[in-house]
Amino acid sequence: MKDEITREERVDNLKGMGCSRKRVEDARFTQGKGNYVDDIKLDGMLFGDFVRSPYAHARIKNIDTSAALEVPGVLAVLTAADLEPLGLHWMPTLAGDKQMVLADGKVLFQGQEVAFVVAEDRFAAADGIEAVVVDYEELPVIVDPFKALQSDVVLREDLVAEDGTIPDGAHGPRKHPNHIFTWEAGDKAPTEEVIANADVVAEESMYYHRTHPCPLETCGCVASMDKVNGKLTLWGTFQAPHAIRTIVSLISGIEEHNIRVISPDIGGGFGNKVGAYPGYVCSVVASIVTGKPVKWVEDRMDNLMTTAFARDYWMKGKISATKDGKITGLQCHVTADHGGFDACADPTKFPAGFMNICTGSYDIPTAYLEVDGVYTNKAPGGVSYRCSFRVTEAVYFIERMVEVLAIKLNMDAAELRRINFIKKEQFPYTAALGWEYDSGDYHTAWDKALKAVDYDGLRKEQAERVAAFKRGETRKLMGIGLSFFTEIVGAGPVKNCDILGLGMFDSCEIRIHPTGSAIARLGTISQGQGHATTFAQILASEIGLPADSITIEEGDTDTAPYGLGTYGSRSTPVAGAATAMAGRKIRAKAQMIAAYLLEVHDNDVEFDVDRFAVKGAPEKFKTMKEIAFAAYNQAIPGIEPGLEAVSYYDPPNMTYPFGAYVCVMDIDVDTGVPEIRRFYALDDCGTRINPMIIEGQVHGGLTEALAVALGQEIAYDDMGNCKTGTLMDFFLPTAWEVPNYETDFTVTPSPHHPIGAKGVGESPHVGGVPCFSNAVQDAFRPFGNTHTNMPHDHWRIWKTANELGLHD
C-alpha cells in the first residue's frame, strides 16, 4: 500500500496533544445553543423557591404557611416539620458535619433556608414566599471567629451534650462549643526551637477575606420522580454528579440504581457547585410529594449570600532565616471561619484542605501548621474557589511571608526566593509538612520570568519613581508584584484522599465504532474547561484516530463510569490519566488485531501516529480505522470482537504545577486607584495538551485573581447582614478592568502521570492573587509598609497611603 501523505500531515490530521485545536463546545455556546439546567423544561414542571431568614441568628417560634397556600398557583410549602418524618430536615455535609435543610428551630446565617414554596411557576413561588409569616426571636450575632471562641453564645446547640460537655467532632476534640476542629501538620516543638534561635524572624498576621466563586450560572436542579418505575432523575449544576448520586441514595434511601444524576452544560463552577445544597434535597422531596418534576434555581443574591463561599482565613505566621536569607523555619496558625455549618468541600482527612502546602516552592527544613475551624453566624462553605483545596490560602500566605521576610532582611524579594527555591535535583522532594513534590525546575522558570520583564530595569524605574514622588513631581507610585507558586492538584491517591468515603480516583470508558470513530465517557464534568476538546486530543494521540472523530461525554451517571468529578484541577491529572490508560488498552488490542491482519507476530508491529506498521517495513501497515473495522467484522482467533476499554485510575501521587508571575502596577496615591500596566505569567503545567485552552484558562484564572485581590469580597456588618449581595457591590471584573496578559511557559512533565500533564485551570488564580496583592504592597514598601490586607479596593489602598502619611 502506498502512503500518499507525509507523516507530519498524519500527525496534524489527528489534532492530538500539543495542538491548539479550537474548542468543539464553542459552536453551541456562542450561538446560544447550550443546554443549562434552567433550559430544562418538563411537562407539568413545578418551581420551588425558599423563604430565607432575614436574620443571622434567631430562634424560630412559628411558621405560618396558611396565607401562602392561598396564593394562586402555590401547591405546597415545606418546612422542617414536613421533612423530619423522612429524616431529611438535616443532611450530612462533605466535611463530616450536618446542615439544616430547612431551619429546624433556629437560623444561623442570613439567607438560611426556612421554608420551601412549591408552585406552578416561579412567579407564583415568589408571591408565595412573601406570604409565609415567620415569627423570629433574634439571638446575639457572632460574625468574628475570635469572639466566637470566647463567647458563651452557643451557635450549634445540637453539638453540645445535655450535660454541657462538648463531644468530639468529625476531626477530633473540640475546645469550645463554637469550635469545629484543630488540625495540625509538621512538628511544633522543633519548629518553635528553630524560630527561637534564628538570626532573623519575620512575623505577620494576615486576613484572607471571605469571597465567593460567583459562577455566571447559579446553582440549581430539576428533580423528577417517576412513581411508576420508581426512578428519580436529577439534573443539576453538579461538579461531581456521581458523588451526588451516592449522597442522594444514602440520605433518601432510594437505591442507587434507581437514581440518575445528570449534569448538563454548566456555566462555571469554581468550587461553588461541589457541595450538596438544601435546594437539591427540597426539590427531590417536592417531586416525590407532588409526583411532578420540580425545578429550583438560585437567583444571584441567593447564590452570593447562601451557597458556598471561599476563604475567610485569619493567618498568623512566623518565618525564620539566617542573616544571608536562607529560610530555616516556618510556622502558621489559622483561625478558619466556616460559618454556621462546616460545609467545606475537602477530602475527608484534610479539614483544612491542602493548607499544608504552605511551605510553597521553598526548601524549608522545619515547619508547623495548626488550623482551628470555628462556627460563626455566616453562610457555610469554605470551598476551593478556582484552586485545589485551600491552596490559594497557602500560597498567599507563603508568598506574603517571603515578602515580609525580604523587608526584614532588607533584601530583594526576587533574590530571596531564588536562594530558597527547591533545586531541580532535589525532586522528588518531600516537604517539611509531608507532601512529596513530584517534579519542578523553579530556577529556570524564575530566571526566564525575570528576564522577560527586565526585572532589574523595573526596579531601577521604581527607584526613580520614588525619588520623583518625594520631590513632589508625581502622585503615582509603582509596585512590582512577584509570585512564585507551587500548586498541589489532582486529588488524589485513594490511600489518602476520599470524600464521604469515596476514593478520589477517576475513570474513562472508550468505545471505538466500526468505522473508526469513537465515544469516550469520563467521570468528570466540564464547567467551561473544554474537556470535550482536550480529552479527545489525548485520545487522538494515544489511539491514532482524529480528535474530530471522538465524542467526549460526561455528566450522566447512567452512562458515564463512576468518578469524583471536576474541581481542584483534578480532571487532567486523574481522568486525563484514565483516558490515556484506557487508550493504551485499546491500542494493545489493536496491536494484536493489526498483527493478525498483517500476518506477523504481535511484537513485530509498532504504533506510528495513526497505524500499526511492521517493524522495519513501514509500507506494510494497518490504519487504526482499518483495525477498528476489523475488530467488528472478522473472527480473529483468540480475540473477542469489539474494541472497547475502561480504566479507573488511582493516581500514585498528586501533581505539582508551578509558575512565576510578575505584575507591574501604578497606584494613584490620592484616589487609591490601581492601574495594572503589565502582567506576565509563566506557567509550567507539564505536558501541554492544548496551548490555546491553557492560555484561556490562564486568562480566566488571572481575572478571578485580579477580582479577589482588588475588591471582590463577601462582607458582613456586625448584625450578620451580608453587605455584598448583588453585583453592584460584589466585584466581577469585565473586559474594561482586565489588563493585557502576557503568557509564557516552561515544560517539566510529571514523572508519574501517563502523559506528563499536571493541570492548569487553577494555577493562575493561585499564583495571581499574591502577585496582584504583592504589587500593591510593594508600591508602599519604600514608605514603610510591610503588610495590608486584601481586598485592595480603592479605599483600602487610599487608607494605606493615608496611614503612611502620604496625604500630608
- In this structure, what C-alpha cell is assigned to residue 471? 520631590
Residues 112, 103 contacting (CB under 8 angstroms): yes
Looking at 219, 282, 332, 387, which residue is catalytic? Answer: 387
- Choice between 68 and 80, CB closer to other proteins: 68
Distance, in Å, from the CA atom of 704 to the CA atom of 767, rounded to the nearest integer, reads 11
Q: Least distance to other proteins from the beta carbon of 778, Å?
A: 22
Q: Which one of 762, 771, 777, 781 is the catalytic residue?
A: 762
Q: Which is nearer to other proteins, 585 or 796 (CB)?
A: 796
> d(Cα 267, Cα 213) in Å, to the nearest integer?
12
Residue nearer to other proteins on the CB measure, 20 or 671? 671
Task: Choose between 106 and 792: whose C-beta lies nearer to other proteins.
Answer: 792
| Angstrom distance (rounded) from CA 118 to CA 129 | 10
Using alpha carbons, list the distances in angstroms from residue 386 to 41, 390, 392, 683: 30, 10, 8, 16
Amino acid letter for position 471: R
**210 flagged as catalytic:** no
CA-to-CA distance for 521 and 354, rounded, in angstroms?
Answer: 29
CB of 123 to other proteins, least distance (A): 6
Task: Please answer whether residues 515 and 629 qualify as being in contact, where contact means their C-beta atoms are separated by less than 8 angstroms.
Answer: yes
Read off the DSSP letter of residue 35.
-
- Burial code (b: 16+ CB inside 10 Å, e: under 16) for 201-216 equals bbbbebebbbbbbbbe
The catalytic residue among 99, 110, 112, 239 is 239
Active site residue 685: no
For residue 762, indicate whether it is catalytic.
yes
**Which is nearest to 631 in space by CA: 509, 515, 508?**
515
Q: Which three cell numbers stand for residue 295?
A: 425545578
Helix, strand and coil in the chain, % to nearest 5:
30, 25, 40
Cβ closer to other proteins: 6 or 736?
736
Q: Which of 532, 577, 578 is nearest to 555 (CA)?
A: 532
SS (H, E, C) 275-311: CCCHHHHHHHHHHHHHCCCEEEECCHHHHHHHCCEEE
CB of 794 to other proteins, least distance (A): 6
* Least CB distance to other proteins at residue 191 (A): 40
Query: Where along the sequence are the contacts to other proteins (CB under 8 A)?
Result: 122-123, 125-127, 130, 299-301, 670-673, 711, 715, 723-724, 728-729, 731, 733-734, 736-737, 793-795, 798-799, 802, 807
Backbone dihedral angles phi then psi of residue 637, each to the nearest 5 degrees: -55, 130
Min dist CB 462 to other proteins, Å, is 23
Residue placing its CB nearer to other proteins in the complex, 385 or 798: 798
Q: Could you say which of 52, 156, 174, 386 is catalytic?
A: 386
Number of neighbouring beta carbons within 10 Å of residue 371: 26
**Interacting residues of 8 by C-beta distance below 8 A, sequence separation 6+:** none
Beta carbon of residue 203, minimum distance to other proteins (angstroms, whole number): 28
Distance CA 112, CA 303 (A): 12
Identify which of residues 127 and 695 has a Cβ nearer to other proteins in the complex: 127
Q: What is d(CA 391, CA 535) in angstroms, rounded to the nearest whole number?
A: 25
* Phi and psi, residue 479, nearest 5°: -115, 140
521 labelled catalytic: no
Cα distance between residue 15 and residue 1, in whole Å: 24
Q: Do residues 428 and 439 make contact, with C-beta atoms less than 8 angstroms apart? A: yes
Q: Measured from the CB of residue 670, what is the shortest distance to other proteins in angstroms?
A: 5
Catalytic residue numbers, as ranges:
239, 386-387, 762
